Amino acid sequence: MRRDELATSSSPLLSVIAVCVVASYIAAQMLADIGSLRVVTLLGLSNDAGTLIYPLTFTLRDLVHKTLGVTAARTLIFAAAVINLVMAGFFWLVAQLPADPEVGPQLEFGMVLSPVWRITVASIVAEVVAELTDTEVYERFVRRFGDRYQWGRVATSNIVATPVDTAIFATVAWAGTLPAGVILDIVLSNLLFKFGIAIAFLWLIYLVPRLQLEPLPAATRAAAEP
């Protein structure tokens, strides 16, 4: 049986791998959104701290795409957006509830985690649009090349989706509130770190198997047939 004919969705081990990849994607999305509330300096450039982990979500999305398919990847993107929105609402609610007077005001929680709604909305909108863009580019690459050049499918989808994410987030989150120079620094440093992390983790795509068949281009199928 050829590898492109393997239907491995019933394998318990592969199911565990898929669950771990999905959980990692959701966790990275949540941590990135929380980190984005703080602007830090990296390599002399202004940067939202969420950039330290957010670029991994593109690669993790690619892993989900490979293991579960395009429909699951799209579903996960919207599910993550809802989860992040619920998380922000929960943090806001907790910050509004009266503190136990015996413990003290505990203002630090609200100062740190109570959402800045403009940044929260910017994060979620940018994530959904960019991750869907990543999905479509990845899917087109797979349809064109099949199982070949797996590193290429990750690199290409990241190269296209990363500027989309950065442009939307920076515009929605800070246009009119931060100096143009600071926003430009954030955009440049975002692109620098996101591309760097994407390149550094291209190899992850080779660690996960396919749980459902990926479509192969006609030329590839014809070449594989005896």
Say which CATH number the domain at 145 has: 1.10.1760
- pTM of this structure: 0.81
Residue 1 domain flag: no
- Three-state SS for the chain is CCHHHCCCCCCHHHHHHHHHHHHHHHHHHHHHHHHCCCEEEECCEEEEHHHHCCHHHHHHHHHHHHHHCHHHHHHHHHHHHHHHHHHHHHHHHHHHCCCCCCCCCCHHHHHHHCCCHHHHHHHHHHHHHHHHHHHHHHHHHHHHHCCCCHHHHHHHHHHHHHHHHHHHHHHHHHCCCCCHHHHHHHHHHHHHHHHHHHHHCHHHHHHCCCCCCCCCCHHHHHHHCC
Residue 221 domain flag: no
What domain range includes position 68? 8-215
Overall domain count for the chain: 1
Q: Which residue ranges in the chain fall short of pLDDT 50?
A: 1-10, 213-214, 216, 219-226
pLDDT in tens, 24-67: 999 999 998 888 878 788 777 777 788 888 889 999 999 999 99
Residue 220 domain flag: no
